[in-house]
Amino acid sequence: MARIQLAKVCGTASQNPGITRRHYWDTVARTEVMLEEAQGSTCSNEVLPKGTLVDSWYEGSTLVEVKTVWDGTGRAPRAGGYTEQIRTENAGGGGETVCGLKIDDVIVSGTGSEYTITVIISGYSGAVEYSLNQFVDVQDSNVFTGLQPGQYIAYARAK
């Protein structure tokens, strides 16, 4: 089982005292894993830089890339919230689609119970539609607002 450490979060006096949580990406199961351990007398938080590519694979012609989303500042995400999956449909070699459209970044902003996701694309100047649920619902805007906390997969395709 191959695991990549995403973050090590040390407990504080007010939250998880005496416990260190290590968050990993499991490259075999393709999911996040959290392990707790007793915290030693000294502990320092560690986190991969935001946007670090930790895994990628193809599902048919769709390139799936897993990137980190937390930069180590502010409140740590809930377990399972340290990564995002970016899917590029009809991906040929190098992750570019036949028409050249590629998702370059997904920007998550907001706090508490309401978030915004902005999908940044490149390589295509025609009309594009976006979705967060495998194109069941689509929209012309690359900005999704009023989102509840949770995991989302961003999609973009040429119209």
98 domain-assigned = yes
Q: Please report the pLDDT score of residue 99 as a whole number.
A: 65
Q: What is the DSSP string of 8-73?
A: EEE--SSSSTTEEEEEEEETTTTEEEEEEEE--S----EEPPTT-EEEEEEETTEEEEEEE---S-
133 domain-assigned = yes
At a CB cut-off of 8 Å and minimum separation 6, what does 128 contact? Answer: 101, 121, 140, 142, 156, 157, 158, 159
65 domain-assigned = yes
Work out the angle at residue 15's Cα, subtended by the Cα atoms of residues 12 and 21, and round it to the nearest 5 degrees. 75
C-alpha to C-alpha distance for 9 and 30, rounded to whole angstroms: 21
Mean pLDDT of 65-75: 84
Q: What is the pTM of this model?
A: 0.56
17 domain-assigned = no
**What is residue 95's three-state secondary structure?**
helix
Of the candidates 67, 137, 71, 54, the residue with the CA atom closest to the CA atom of residue 103: 67
Higher pLDDT, 20 or 17: 20
36 domain-assigned = no
**What is residue 93's three-state secondary structure?**
helix
100 domain-assigned = yes
Which pLDDT tens digit goes with each residue over 71-103? Answer: 888 777 776 788 888 888 765 544 444 567 888
Q: How many domains, the chain?
A: 1
148 domain-assigned = yes
- Mean pLDDT of the residues in the chain: 83
Domain enclosing residue 69, as ranges: 49-158
152 domain-assigned = yes
C-alpha to C-alpha distance for 36 and 97, rounded to whole angstroms: 40
Mean pLDDT of 121-145: 88
